[in-house]
């Protein structure tokens, strides 16, 4: 298959590109700086989001597009940072809509990244793809606008999947930051430790994206989370065990809120999100428990 990816040089994009090419697919990575990279037989770099770029003239007939583009959530959330987080996602998705409109042969599917932050935060509720309740914080606002923009692409008769990512565990992303206190022997739960962490191993992120790509009946919302979310105190205990470090130094929530500002919501709060649709369609998780996932990453 011919697959175009935005955000293809990021953490998830690199893993996904490797998996696609290993099975014989050709990947076209849409980037602002295609000249920075060297094309190979299976990976081509195509310019987009610049005045001179016309990706519709460089791309072959595509089987699918996977949109992973968006400014990192990490960093102090100033007004400028929040604008970048919001606009980068909306603008990239609008650009995908425009690209598809200009393609004579439309792709069969668009998989558009989103996040479980759509639901806001809760210590008590459980959310599945059937849940309609939306949060009222900044991340919920971003994901709602992001998803609504992506769903407009259905007007091109393109199957559209909203891939709501949980906390991705791997050698990059959030996990190195989460494990850092344990490495310095000051690890422990955060706040009460009761906040939910809806996590997923990077291998299952890739596996589920391929699963959605290959299964034409999967559309609309798809939760990319493991089937066994954990509370922060359980994650802390598992991290301490795998790293062979103590788990005794709780971090008060107010310190994180003071130091990180609004971004602390990513750490201090959470939500319990289940991958009901993936299980219904028969996806087999590589890592369904937090212990399995962390042991694979750190052993």
Q: What is the pLDDT of residues 129-180, one digit of tens each?
A: 999 999 999 999 999 999 999 999 999 999 999 999 999 999 998 888 889 8
Residue 38: is its pLDDT beyond 80? yes
- Report the pLDDT averaged over residues 256-267: 82
Predicted TM-score of the model (pTM): 0.95
pLDDT computed for residue 77 by the predictor: 92
Residue 268: is its pLDDT beyond 90? no
Q: Domain residue spans in the chain?
A: 2-298
26: nearest Cα among 7, 57, 5, 10: 5
Structure tokens at 273: 């999100």
DSSP string, the chain: -EEEEESTTSHHHHHHHHHHHHTT-EEEEEES-GGGS---SSEEEEE-SSTT--GGGT----SEEEE-----S-S---HHHHHHHHHHHHHHHHHHHHHHHH-SS--SEEEEEEEGGGG---SS-EE-TT------SHHHHHHHHHHHHHHGGGGGT-EEEEEEE-EEESSSTHHHHHHHHHHTT----BTTS-SEE-EEEHHHHHHHHHHHHH-TT--EEEEES-SS-EEHHHHHHHHHHHHT-----PBPHHHHHHHHGGGGHHHH---EE--HHHHHTT---S--SHHHHHHHHH-
Q: pLDDT-derived band of residue 67, with 50, 70 and 90 as boundaries?
A: very high
CATH class of domain segment(s) 2-298: alpha beta
């Amino acid at each position: 298959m011919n697959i175009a990816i935005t955000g293809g040089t990021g953490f998830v994009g690199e893993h996904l590109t490797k998996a696609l090419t290993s099975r014989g697919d050709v990947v076209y990575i849409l980037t602002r700086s295609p000249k920075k990279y060297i094309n190979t037989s299976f990976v081509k770099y195509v310019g987009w989001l610049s005045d001179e770029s016309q990706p519709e003239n460089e791309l072959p007939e595509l089987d699918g597009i996977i949109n992973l583009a968006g400014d990192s959530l990490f960093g102090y959330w100033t007004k400028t940072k929040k604008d970048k987080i919001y606009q980068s996602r909306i603008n990239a998705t609008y650009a995908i809509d425009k690209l598809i409109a200009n393609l004579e042969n439309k792709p069969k599917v668009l998989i558009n990244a989103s996040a479980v932050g759509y639901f806001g935060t809760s210590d008590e509720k459980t959310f599945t793809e059937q849940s309609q309740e939306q949060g009222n914080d900044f991340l919920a606002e971003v994901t709602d606008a992001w998803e609504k923009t992506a769903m407009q692409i259905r007007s091109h008769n393109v199957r559209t999947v909203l891939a709501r990512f949980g906390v991705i565990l791997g050698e990059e992303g959030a996990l190195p930051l989460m494990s850092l206190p344990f490495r310095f022997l000051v690890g422990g739960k955060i706040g009460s430790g009761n906040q939910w962490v809806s996590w997923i191993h990077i291998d299952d992120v890739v596996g589920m994206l391929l699963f959605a790509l290959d299964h034409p009946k999967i559309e609309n919302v798809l939760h990319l989370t493991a089937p066994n979310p954990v509370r922060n105190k359980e994650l802390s205990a598992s991290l301490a065990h795998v790293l062979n470090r103590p788990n005794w130094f709780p971090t008060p929530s107010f310190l994180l809120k003071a130091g990180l500002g609004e971004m602390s919501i990513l750490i201090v709060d959470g939500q319990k999100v289940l991958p009901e649709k993936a299980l219904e369609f028969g996806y087999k998780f590589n890592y369904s428990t937090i212990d399995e996932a962390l042991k694979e990453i750190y052993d």
